[in-house]
Amino acid sequence: MTKPIFILNGPNLNRLGKREPEIYGATTLAEVEAMCREAAGTRPVRFHQSNIEGEIVNWIHEAIDEGAGIIINPAAFTFTSIAILDALKMFPGPIIELHISNIHRREAYYHNSFVSKIATAVMAGFGASGYAMAVRAMEELIAK
């Protein structure tokens, strides 16, 4: 059985398409999920979003036991969550940290990512299409 890619999304990403479209674009999270599933082809995808930190930690724990890789857009938790960092440290496979906007071109408080410290790779600034790019990159990382 082919292990799934876990695609985890943090707070406020359920508002994609409506929230600050000048920064995040007009693509909805449902459209992002469809792009990810298409990019994954036959590989299963577990796509989740939560505004609750503990739910994201629980999905990382599931990925530890069942996943091939994690693509995570932790959103605001990127800069605040030691709990998510500690959970990701336990994951034995590749991790891609993903951001729709280029966090390094934004306010200074967006510049210190806890997740970057353990991520295999970081992608930022590609808009919603970065998700499909991340899925394809994850396939390459899993194959190595």
129 annotated ligand binder: no
Burial label, 21 (beta-carbon count in 10 A; 0-12, 13-18, 19+): exposed
7 annotated ligand binder: no
Q: Alpha-carbon distance 81 to 86, whole Å? A: 9
Find residue 99's DSSP bridge partners. 124
101 annotated ligand binder: yes
| 99 flagged as catalytic | yes
100 annotated ligand binder: yes
**Direct distance between the N- and C-terminal alpha carbons of the chain, in angstroms, rounded to an integer:** 18
Give the active site residue among 99, 104, 109, 111. 99
Q: How far is CA 85 from CA 27, 68, 144, in A?
A: 28, 18, 24
Q: Alpha-carbon distance 34 to 52, whole Å? A: 23
User: What does the DSSP 8-state code read for residue 97?
Assistant: E
Give the active site residue among 24, 61, 104, 110. 24
Feature table: binding site = 73, 86, 100-101
Feature table: binding site for substrate = 73, 86, 100-101
Q: Mind telling me the catalytic residues?
A: 24, 99
